[in-house]
């Protein structure tokens, strides 16, 4: 059978991994799809840049049209990153009847629906397993492995940079800025870490997961996002004292036909499986009505793990080519989007306050919670060096987000409260 020709956009860390796997696993790919797989052209910015993998100069080009307009190229692998100009390349490829495999979470979170429509119109596959959680096959598991189930909740550590930072802060008692600097020196964090530490990267991934898992078109703007930049050593110390571990969690939850999607620092019981996911590793916890609880764990980034997902998608495209079913695997969302309001989102909360150490202060605070019918599960009260102040740490029972936000506003206005130091969601782990 004639070789399948591949064009690749980008040859950075992930692209290098793709070249390595395609070159080293030819026998495996040949066995899977029954024909050779050939990289025909790779788009790069600089032809002479030193690279971690040896590539013939004849394969390289700085002109995207050498790939997008080549009628012999069957599949485009997009690993160049970016959104707007990359979208134009992908649209052009699909309209030229070329199948596309991408690792671009930013692109799919923003333009996934539009690109899927164009792919279907042109009988093309558009696969993007590598866009979420690197080497973990989570999207394929949701679309295929759990296709018969009804997913009710997904909870995930989907950003390795923030998990590395929080692991170091927790284990070493180190300050956020010091650990961020270490993460940058080790290459886990970018020189501008905003997308990671403010939760934006995780939010894009949760948009994709929620859309696929709930078969509902969830947009990036629907995700409520809080990053890790304000977490302190004291927060982690008290969390540990109360039996919790702090993680930046993506949470997508469905009840009846309404959903909530958020990314926020969250306290998990130390016994929860996600609590032991450390350093740069990722994990996604999935609850299905039939299957119950499942967890997908593995490397969330890196050249070869991410490239493994890309080449697995490539195999999927090639199998579809042999069967003549390209462009038929995309399923349009089954349900109209219905997002929960604050009065429908329930959770426990961790709250740390600095209060004036006076008679009746605690009664005033409990009065505010009682008015909103919110009770306490755990309470710590500690003296501070400043003799006039005391520190109170609370974990509430379940409360609606609406009630909790109103409580925070009333606490800020209370004379006895000098400062709300921190506030975090607390997850039990069960449905």
139-168 pLDDT, tens digit per residue, is 988 888 888 899 999 999 999 999 999 999
Catalytic residue among 205, 247, 340, 348: 205
- pLDDT given for residue 429 in this prediction: 59
pLDDT in tens, 382-408: 888 877 899 999 999 999 999 999 999
Rounded percentage of the chain residues whose pLDDT exceeds 90: 77
Residue 256 confidence (pLDDT) above 50: yes
Query: How many whole angstroms separate alpha carbon 253 and alpha carbon 431?
Result: 9
pLDDT at res. 126: 96
SS3 for 366-424 is HHHHHHCCCCEEEEEEEECCCCCEEEEEEEECCEEHHHHHHHHHHHHHCCCEEEEEEEE
Give all domains of the chain, ordered by start, each with its CATH number: 4-134+303-323 (3.40.50.720), 138-299 (3.30.360.10), 342-426 (3.30.70.260)
pLDDT of 6 > 90? The answer is yes
CA distance 49 to 46: 6
- Asked whether the predicted pLDDT for residue 431 surpasses 70, the reply is no
What is the reported pTM?
Answer: 0.91
Tokens 């690993």 belong to: 79
Q: In 10 A of CB 90, how many CB atoms?
A: 26
Please tell me the predicted confidence (pLDDT) of residue 329.
73
CA-nearest of 176, 151, 329, 169 to 251 is 151
pLDDT digits (tens, 9 = 90+) for 104-115: 999 999 999 899
Mean pLDDT is lowest, of 55-59, 121-125, 186-190, for 186-190
Range 64-86 average pLDDT = 96
Residue 358: count of CB within 10 angstroms of its CB = 12
Active site residue 337: no
pLDDT at 51: 87
């Amino acid at each position: 059978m004639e070789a399948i020709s591949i064009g690749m956009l980008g040859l950075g860390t992930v692209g290098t991994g793709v070249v390595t796997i395609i070159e080293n696993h030819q026998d495996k790919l040949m066995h899977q799809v029954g024909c050779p797989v050939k990289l025909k052209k790779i788009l790069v910015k600089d032809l002479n840049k030193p690279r971690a993998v040896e590539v013939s100069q004849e394969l390289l080009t700085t002109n995207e049209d050498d790939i997008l307009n080549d009628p012999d190229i069957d599949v485009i692998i997009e690993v160049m990153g970016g959104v707007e100009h990359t979208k134009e390349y992908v649209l052009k490829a699909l309209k030229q009847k070329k199948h596309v495999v991408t690792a671009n979470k930013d692109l799919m979170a923003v333009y996934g629906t539009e690109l899927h429509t164009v792919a279907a119109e042109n009988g093309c596959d558009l696969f993007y397993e590598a866009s979420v959680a690197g080497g973990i096959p989570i999207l394929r598991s949701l679309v295929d492995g759990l296709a018969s189930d009804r997913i009710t909740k997904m909870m995930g550590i989907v950003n390795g940079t923030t998990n590395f930072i929080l692991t170091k802060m927790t284990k070493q008692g180190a300050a956020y800025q010091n650990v961020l600097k270490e993460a940058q020196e080790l290459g886990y964090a970018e020189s501008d870490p905003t997308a990671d530490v403010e939760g934006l990267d995780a939010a894009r991934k949760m948009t994709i997961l929620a859309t696929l898992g709930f078969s509902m078109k969830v947009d990036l703007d629907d995700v409520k996002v809080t990053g890790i930049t304000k977490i302190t050593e004291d927060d982690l110390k008290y969390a540990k004292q109360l039996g919790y571990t702090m993680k930046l969690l993506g949470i997508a939850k469905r009840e009846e036909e309404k959903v909530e999607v958020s990314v926020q620092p969250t306290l998990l019981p130390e016994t929860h499986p996600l609590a032991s996911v450390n350093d740069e590793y990722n994990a996604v916890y999935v609850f299905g009505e039939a299957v119950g609880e499942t967890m997908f764990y593995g490397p969330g980034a890196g050249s070869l793990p991410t490239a493994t997902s890309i080449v697995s998608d490539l195999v999927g495209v090639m199998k579809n080519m042999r069967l003549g079913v390209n462009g038929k695997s995309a399923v349009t969302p089954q349900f109209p989007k219905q997002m929960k309001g604050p009065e429908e989102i329930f959770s426990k909360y961790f709250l740390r306050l600095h209060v004036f150490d006076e008679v009746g202060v605690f009664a005033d605070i409990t009065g505010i919670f009682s008015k909103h019918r919110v009770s306490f599960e755990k309470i710590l009260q500690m003296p501070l060096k400043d003799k006039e102040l005391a520190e109170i740490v609370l974990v509430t029972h379940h409360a609606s987000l609406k009630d909790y936000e109103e409580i925070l506003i009333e606490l800020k206005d209370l004379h006895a409260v000098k400062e709300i130091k921190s506030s975090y969601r607390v997850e039990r782990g069960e449905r």
